[in-house]
Amino acid sequence: MSAPSSPVFHHIHKQMEFVAIRPGKFMMGCSPGDAAAYSEEKPAHLVEITGPFEIGRYQVTQAQYESVVGGKPSYFPGANLPVEGVSWNDTQQFCAKLTARKDGFIYRLPTEAEWEYAARAGDTSPRYASLDSIAWYHDNSHGSTHAVGLKKPNAFGLYDTLGNVWEWVQDVYTEDYYSHSPQQDPAGPATGDYRVARGGSWRGIARGLARVSSRYVLRAGVRSIVVGFRCAREKTSN
């Protein structure tokens, strides 16, 4: 069955759309009263994002990915479906190729702190609205991804920050990083074998994974049908 039509379809896959995020402070990690949180989401800690950045309004689609690096890595085919089956290393190539176009921006993955700050959009709960209204997850996805932008956006105007596909972020992973990370612009551990993805997926269960502080851990070279990404960007200095 094809996904329902949406007014955003006419331009989503042709050009990436970004949302400007202002600097600010937030509590990162386990949400207050979230009994489903794992130890790696603790302790909740104050984080300050000191500079502005932009982040994709939508998860990167298959059409966008193909237009930049070529290839069709996804298990679930569809131009407006989020690209999946891409490794963290693949995302680095995608961002490098976009940056090489010299359109005035440097493209990259968001840091884990930037991702959570943007995904929360000022909300302190495990999810910013009823899960069925904002996310494709185990109970409503019917076993596949769905076109981006069909669910309710968060307060910053970002879609699918929960569900559909996990989103690679830039950071290296260590389980205890939150206990000693810097307050300003934390960028993850300096070294490590694993990377982080955020946001849950079409296959995730509500209690354990469809929460804004959930963390998924994979090696940088792993490709999975539940993992895609969302780009961030910042203006070049010159």
* pTM for this predicted structure: 0.93
Per-domain residue ranges of the chain: 11-235
Asked if residues 86 and 223 have their Cβ atoms less than 8 Å apart, the reply is yes
Name the residue among 30, 48, 50, 47 with its Cα closest to residue 39. 30
What is the C-alpha to C-alpha distance for residues 52 and 38, in angstroms, rounded to an integer? 30
Helix (H, G, I), strand (E, B) or coil at 143: coil
Q: Say yes or no: domain 11-235 is CATH 3.90.1580.10.
A: yes
pLDDT score for 237: 77
Q: Biggest alpha carbon distance in the chain?
A: 48
Name the residue among 230, 37, 214 with its Cα closest to residue 149. 230
Lowest mean pLDDT among 11-15, 20-24, 81-85, 198-202: 11-15
Amino acid at 106: I
State the average pLDDT for the chain.
93
Which are the contacts of 89, defined by CB distance < 8 A and separation ≥ 6?
220, 221
* Share of residues in the chain with pLDDT > 70 (%): 94
Asked if residues 56 and 230 have their Cβ atoms less than 8 Å apart, the reply is yes
* Predicted confidence (pLDDT) per residue in 200-211, tens digit: 999 998 877 789
**Of 144 and 13, which is predicted with more confidence?**
144
**Phi, psi dihedrals of residue 77, rounded to the nearest 5°:** -80, 140
DSSP H helical ranges for 121-225: 131-134
* Predicted confidence (pLDDT) per residue in 167-202, tens digit: 999 999 999 999 999 999 999 999 998 999 999 999
pLDDT of residue 8 exceeding 60, the answer is no
